[in-house]
Amino acid sequence: MSLCTHLADVIEALDHALDVRWREFGTYLRIEPVILNSIDANKSNVEGRMLQLVEKWLGHDNGTGDLPRTWETVVQAVKKTGKGQLAEQLAQRYGMQLSGQ
C-alpha cells in the first residue's frame, strides 16, 4: 500500500471528477461533519472545498478519521461515491485490486 503524501498528487489523480461530490467523498474518508461544515462555510467554490478537504485529511487534522492515508483508501472512497470507472483507473495506476470485484 503506497502512502498518499502530496496534496497535488491526490488532486491531480481525482482530476475534478468528485469536486461536486466533495462532501460525500469526505464522508467516506470518515471526516467528521463539523469539519465538512467548516469547509463548506469557508470556501465559495467546489474546487476549493475539495482542496481543503484533501489537505486536512492528508494532514491528519483533528476530526479527519483514522483511515490510513493510502491510495487504497482514496480508491475505496472514490468507488463508494459511485465513480467506479475512476476508482478502477486509480487502482490500476497505483497497482492495486479493487475489493468487491
- Check residues 4 and 82 and name the one with the higher pLDDT: 82
3-state SS class at 30 = coil
pLDDT at 1: 59
Domains contained in the chain, number: 1
- Please tell me whether the overall predicted TM-score, pTM, comes out greater than 0.85 for this model: yes
Cell of 28: 467516506
pLDDT at 44: 84
Residue 27 lies in a domain: yes
CB 56 within 8 A of CB 35: yes
CATH number of the domain where residue 50 is located: 1.10.533.10
Domain that holds residue 35: 7-93
Please compute the mean of the pLDDT values over residues 78-99 and round it to a whole number.
Answer: 92
3-state SS class at 3 = strand
Residue 30 lies in a domain: yes
pLDDT in tens, 18-59: 999 999 999 999 999 999 999 999 988 999 999 999 999 999
Residue 100 lies in a domain: no
pLDDT in tens, 30-39: 999 999 999 9
- Count the Cβ atoms, other than its own, within 10 Å of residue 4: 20
The alpha-carbon radius of gyration of the chain (Å, integer) is: 13
Residue 98 lies in a domain: no
Residue 42 lies in a domain: yes
**Residue % of the chain over a pLDDT of 70:** 96
